[in-house]
C-alpha cells in the first residue's frame, strides 16, 4: 500500500515541477510583449530619449485618471 502512495506522490511532484517550469517559461516569453505594450504608450520624445520607465509610469495620465496615479 505504501509503494502505490510513493508512486502517486512522485507523479504529483513531477507534475508540479513541470508546471512550474512551463510557468517560468511563459513569464519569460511574455516580457517582450509587455515591453512592446509599454513602449507603444510612450510619446515619441520618451522613446527617443531612451529613458526607461516602468509600465505603470507609461500609463499615468493617458489611460488612468489622475486620481489613480
The percent of residues in the chain predicted with pLDDT above 70, rounded, is 61
Q: Which residues constitute the domain of residue 52?
A: 2-68
The residue among 54, 50, 61 whose CA lies nearest residue 37 is 54
Task: Note the pLDDT of residue 5.
Answer: 54
- Please state the rounded mean pLDDT for residues 15-33: 95
CB 53 within 8 A of CB 62: no
E-strand stretches of the chain = none
- How many structural domains is the chain composed of? 1
Collect all residues with Cβ–Cβ distance below 8 Å to 55 and sequence separation of at least 6. Answer: 34, 37, 38
pTM above 0.85? no
Would you say residue 22 has pLDDT above 80? yes
**Of residues 63 and 9, more confidently modeled:** 9
* Strand (E) or helix (H) holding 20: helix 2-40
Amino acid at each position: 500500500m505504501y509503494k502505490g502512495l510513493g508512486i502517486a506522490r512522485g507523479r504529483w511532484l513531477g507534475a508540479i515541477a513541470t508546471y512550474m517550469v512551463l510557468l517560468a517559461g511563459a513569464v519569460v516569453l511574455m516580457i517582450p510583449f509587455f515591453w512592446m505594450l509599454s513602449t507603444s504608450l510612450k510619446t515619441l520624445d520618451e522613446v527617443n530619449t531612451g529613458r526607461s520607465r516602468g509600465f505603470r509610469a507609461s500609463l499615468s495620465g493617458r489611460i488612468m485618471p489622475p486620481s489613480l496615479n
